[in-house]
Amino acid sequence: MSRSPSSASHNALWGGRFAEATDAFVAEFTASVSFDRRLWRHDIQGSLAHSEMLCRVGVLSAEERDAIHAGLKRIAQRIEAGQFDWRIDREDVHMNIEAELTEDIGAAGKKLHTGRSRNDQVATDIRLYLRDAVDGLRGQLRQLMTALVDLAEREADTVMPGFTHLQHAQPISFGHHLLAWFEMLKRDEARFADCRRRINVLPLGSAALAGTSYPIDRSITAALLGFEAVSENSLDAVSDRDFAIEFLHCAALTMMHLSRWCEELILWNSSQFAYIDLPDRFCTGSSIMPQKKNPDVPELVRGKTGRVYGHLMSLLTLMKGQPLAYNKDNQEDKEPLFDTLDTLAGSLRAFADLIPALKPRREIMREAALRGFTTATDLADYLVKKGLPFRDAHEVVGKAVALALSRNISLEALPLADLQALSTLVAEDVYDALSLENSIAARDHWGGTAPTQVRAAAARARAWLASPT
């Protein structure tokens, strides 16, 4: 990035009314080109559409429009090739591109900004940028969801302990657990889709705040840019960033889900649980303890969740004190948005690589499900089916658990005579009720953990993934 020709000179794009040049530090302090140049593609996309519209309504001649289009395309090529000189004295991405265009094509370049302000221009750029970002994230979410369904189908019959309060509660299918994650991501994807509708509205034409006196046709610009609607109110359109805050909110919720998931992966990868093996390539070692294999990727994603929450809070705070219409405060919206996108896209990418490579240790999961009296509820249900009221059954099973605990054995290891001493309703078939496989198979309803239900849920998940976005 360069400061040439000199930050002490007058700004060529708005310097007309100024008697002295901008202070060099102020120029640097207020410039945003160091970060908002990331919007360049969308800035050019907006300018192509704006000039096309101006031509169609007769404000620009076809020659002027053609010169502008050719010039913008040359600029795009130069930026792409890393040959564009981004200048701090030109403040932001918009003025860098416009000034360069005028240098390149002359007088026609000066007409590009007719009927437009940077206020509606930047609002348009961010909307175009976020629309692409949302589409990319939704694609990533769907890719990850596909990996989850594949794994869930493979693991429908794998038994693990389900937890409440991080204590063994009841046996569940590992596939069922994986599909719980799927549901969270499905809601995240739907939230992004909904957010996209409010992003996809054209602000251009609002100009600085009040609209413009040129005979513009905003429906042309909207159609050219693929916006579904044209903003209703110019003051609102140039100033509010609620769509960006909503984007951050969607991202924060997704990160929250990924972070919960990370927590489980970290626990499961620990030697205390040892339910899964994370592939070596997702872990790192310790410089001092040779035996260590640390689950760095899940830990980092869990950690990065904090910065996305922070960005959401930043933008909420950025917006709360602003009177209508545009204020320079809004320039501060970009870095939180860009960092959120990078963080979430990176986290989703890491997960999409990790999930298919995850190795469950089925024997250890099953062993764990046998501990902690996970089929105690099944024993109570067994007694209820034989006619005992549930509260009484609960009491009997509590005693059976205490007995097993005192002998340091599992429920199904209790001899029949001992169980019958607690309730005369117990018969030989009690051991069927106590088996892990029968326990999960018994939860055989929509949303339950029976392997047949898990497979049916996976099939519905696949159908959802195959439906158009």
Indicate which residues carry an active-site annotation. 165, 286
Choosing from 22, 124, 140, 330, the residue that interacts with ligand ARG (CB under 6 A) is: 330
Q: Check residue 411 for interaction with ligand ARG (CB under 6 A).
A: no
3-state secondary structure of 87: strand
CB atoms closer than 10 angstroms to residue 324: 12
Select from 146-154, 240-248, 324-332, 397-405 the region that touches ligand ARG (CB under 6 A).
324-332
Give 305 or 340: the residue with its C-beta nearer to ligand ARG. 340
Phi, psi dihedral angles at 202 (to 5 degrees): -80, 120
How would DSSP label each residue in 94-138? Answer: HHHHHHHHHHHHTHHHHTTTTT--HHHHHHHHHHHHHHHHHHHHH
CB atoms closer than 10 angstroms to residue 26: 11
Residues with Cβ < 8 Å from 163, sequence gap 6 or more? 169
Q: Check residue 331 for interaction with ligand ARG (CB under 6 A).
A: yes
The count of chain residues that interact with ligand ARG, using the rule CB under 6 A, is 10
Nearest C-alpha neighbor of 255 from the set 210, 297, 309: 309
Q: Check residue 315 for interaction with ligand ARG (CB under 6 A).
A: no
Nearest C-alpha neighbor of 259 from the set 131, 351, 342: 351
Give 322 or 377: the residue with its C-beta nearer to ligand ARG. 322
E strand or H helix at 436: helix 436-442
> In whole angstroms, how close is the CB of 134 to ligand ARG at the nearest point?
20
> In whole angstroms, how close is the CB of 374 to ligand ARG at the nearest point?
56
Instruction: Give the x/- contact pattern for ligand ARG in 29-58, rule: CB under 6 A.
Output: ---x---x----------------------
3-state secondary structure of 421: helix
Please give the structure tokens belonging to residue 200.
């996809």
Give 92 or 153: the residue with its C-beta nearer to ligand ARG. 92
> In whole angstroms, how close is the CB of 99 to ligand ARG at the nearest point?
14
Q: How far is residue 165's CA from residue 159's CA, in Å, rounded to a whole number?
A: 19
Residue ranges in 56-95 that form contacts with ligand ARG under rule CB under 6 A: 92
Residue ranges in 112-141 that form contacts with ligand ARG under rule CB under 6 A: 118-119, 122
> In whole angstroms, how close is the CB of 209 to ligand ARG at the nearest point?
9
Binding site for ligand ARG (CB under 6 A): 32, 36, 92, 118-119, 122, 326, 328, 330-331
